Amino acid sequence: MKKDNLEQEFVARVTESQGIVHKICNIYCKDEEHRKDLFQEILIQLWKSYTSFRGEAKFSTWMYRVGLNVAIQYFRKGKKRPEETELSAKLQNLPELKKDDSLEEEIRLLYKAINTLNDIEKAIVMLYLEEKTNEEIAEITGITQNYVRVKMNRVKTKLKKILNP
């Protein structure tokens, strides 16, 4: 496939599923600047690895896997500045998702509690909230379905303790 066609296909797919990247950034970053940096880093890594996407999994599953791996690595490296890479003008101008200013207090508290979790727990909760099956969560995170169930039960217990001390 020609580079222009490949780029157009990539931009269309990422634009359609960009909510995934925004969710990952919102879960892993409290600061707006870090969210922007992480968003850009995820897009760069998605583009760099796009030719390796074989279609064996759904595109959204692949996006979650790449995005979560980038987010976890990004913060394990101490929030270093992402490497500079030229992004296509089409990717630089992706529209931001509109924020709903009327978020309920309960949702804000839930996200605050989620932020206290470790990286893998955050990923599992985010995917669970996206109504992914244990099988899909296992595929995206690279852990077994049984471990997903165990971690999810432990996470639920942790969140209950945090939200209802």
pLDDT band at 149 (very low <50, low <70, confident <90, very high): very high
Does 95 have pLDDT greater than 70?
no
Mean pLDDT of the chain: 81
Domains defined along the chain, listed by start: 1-99 (1.10.1740.10), 100-165 (1.10.10.10)
Interval 138-147 mean pLDDT:
90
pLDDT band at 81 (very low <50, low <70, confident <90, very high): very low
User: For residue 99, what pLDDT is reported?
Assistant: 53
Long-range contacts of 79-83 (CB under 8 A, 24+ apart): 79/34, 81/37, 82/37, 82/38, 82/40, 82/41, 82/44, 83/44
Interval 39-68 mean pLDDT:
89
